[in-house]
Amino acid sequence: MFWFYGQKAQTSPEQQSQMPVYSYRIVQTYPHDPEAFTQGLIYHDGVLYEGTGLRGRSSLRRVELATGKVLQLHPLSRRYFGEGITLWQNRIIQLTWTSGTGFIYHPETFEKLGEFTYSTQGWGLTHDNKRLIMSDGTDTLYFLNPDTFEEIGSIQVKYQDKPVSNLNELEYINGEIFANVWQTDLIARISPQTGRVLSWIDLTGLLETQSRSPSYGSEDVLNGIAYDELEDRLFVTGKLWPKLFEIELVPKRRIEN
């Protein structure tokens, strides 16, 4: 069962659509902190940067890929619920959920360099080398000026001409926006020009049921996409997951739109 347009659907995108749907092959499995409520994930210069959430537990981290060891951690004030992160021109930018406040950090020292504000909720964050791209849990993606953080545009994300809501963590990969759809095992691949869903990635079964956290009910969902551009590697994980996966996308169905 999947969530689309804010409602339950009994069928998968593969059954409903006339567009490509991808499954996966696990290339490598790495340890991941099972206490990390993953909200944002970046791969850069051989390490992972991770933004985590929950009040009193939100943080910005540098993480060793091979071991999952946290190499550096900057805790957020208890008043903030950490959300998505991205790396823009030697600055790490981190959103918060409902505070309307974002933070700017030095990528090596995690020294806070500044703050900015926005009028929506903050969920996911990435960039296309020109603009920041932000999600707020709705069907809208916002484009921000990376220097002033002013909103300079937006797109509505649609699948079969219907809005796709609950857009969460984001990663810009080879001209497409990859977006986790909250409370599903799906990643939407979105056109940044039109907002149209170009294809789906179905990661059902990636983390075994027995590996999910019994303490958080339905909160330990798929969330976290990182891309190694130099080696063309795709990494995914989830909130409170004990594992992080490098995956290769495998076509399940190839049908012309």
Q: What is residue 97's DSSP assignment?
A: S
Residue whose tokens read 């943080």: 59
CA distances from 50 to 20, 93, 187, 211, 237 (A): 30, 11, 19, 21, 11
Q: Does residue 198 lie within any of the structural domains?
A: yes
Q: Please report where in the chains the tokens 């970046």 appear, as a residue.
A: 42
CA dist 32 and 24 (Å) reads 19
Whether the model clears a pTM of 0.85, i.e. scores above it, the answer is yes
On the 0-12 / 13-18 / 19+ scale of CB atoms within 10 A, 193 is: exposed
| List of the chain residues with pLDDT < 50 | 1-11, 17, 255-257
In 3D, which of 248, 241, 247 has the Cα closest to residue 31? 241
Q: Is residue 70 part of a domain?
A: yes
User: Domain with 42 in it: what CATH number?
Assistant: 2.120.10.30
pLDDT value of position 209: 59
Give dist(CA 185, CA 168) in Å, integer.
12
Q: Does residue 4 form part of some domain?
A: no
Q: Say how far apart CA 85 and CA 102 lie, in whole Å.
A: 10
Q: Is 203 helix (H, G, I), strand (E, B) or coil?
A: coil
Give the separation between CA 124 and CA 209, rounded to whole angstroms.
25
**Predicted local confidence at residue 3, as pLDDT:** 43
Nearest partner of 246 among 229, 230, 226, judged by Cα: 226
C-beta separation of 171 from 180 below 8 A: no
Residue 204 resides in a domain: yes
What is the reported pLDDT for 68? 97
Taking the C-alpha atoms of residue 146 and residue 168, their distance in angstroms, rounded to an integer, is 20
Total number of domains in the chain: 1
- Residue 112 is assigned to a structural domain of this protein: yes
pLDDT score recorded for residue 219: 75
Edge-to-edge strand list for the sheet holding 125-127: 125-127, 132-135, 140-144, 151-156
- How far is residue 143's CA from residue 128's CA, in Å, rounded to a whole number? 10
Residue 29 forms part of a structural domain: yes
pLDDT in tens, 133-183: 999 999 999 999 999 999 999 999 999 999 999 999 999 999 999 999 999
Is residue 188 within 8 A of residue 164, CB to CB? The reply is yes
pLDDT the model gives residue 253: 63
Residues with Cβ within 8 Å of residue 58, at least 6 apart in sequence = 37, 51, 52, 75, 76, 80, 81, 82, 96
Residue 71 maps to a domain:
yes
Report the pLDDT value the prediction gives residue 9, as an integer from 0 to 100.
Answer: 42
Distance of alpha carbon 105 from alpha carbon 131, whole angstroms: 18
Decide if 176 is inside a domain.
yes
Q: Report the chain's C-alpha Rg in angstroms.
A: 17
Domain containing 52: what range? 12-253
